[in-house]
Amino acid sequence: MGNIKDLLAMIPGVGKSIKDIDISDDAFKGIEAMINSMTIQERKDPDIIDQKRRMRIAKGSGKDIAEVNAFMKQFEQMKGMMKMMNKMGGMGMKMPGFK
């Protein structure tokens, strides 16, 4: 299997622009540690993650609370972007090759 850069290059419109960016697979180990420190319930419903849970996730992943908060903020932004892309697809603006 390839690395994260190979995966990102498969996204339409990203392929050419990603070749000059240096992305290390190790960059995602901290994120993986935070996700692994979440309960199954928290993974299924991230909205239940309050400050107390964030502190537990930080401690379990070896990260500080600011890193967990930043990760959760990025997740919310990505969720919003995916909703927007879904709405665009519903208006007939589908990407070639995707159904």
CATH code at position 33? 1.10.260.30
For residue 9, is it within any domain? no
pTM above 0.85, yes or no: no
Look at the block and give the residue holding tokens 């390839």: 2
> What's the structural domain count of the chain?
1
Lowest mean pLDDT among 22-31, 48-57, 76-85: 22-31
Query: In the prediction, which pLDDT does 43 show?
Result: 94
88-to-10, 15, 18, 85, 94 alpha-carbon distances in Å: 20, 21, 24, 5, 7
Domain that holds residue 53: 25-90
For residue 41, is it within any domain? yes
Determine the straight-line distance between the first and last CA of the chain, rounded to whole angstroms: 25
Average pLDDT over residues 52-59: 97
pLDDT digits (tens, 9 = 90+) for 62-79: 999 999 999 999 989 888
pLDDT greater at residue 91 or residue 82: 82
Query: In the prediction, which pLDDT does 60 show?
Result: 97
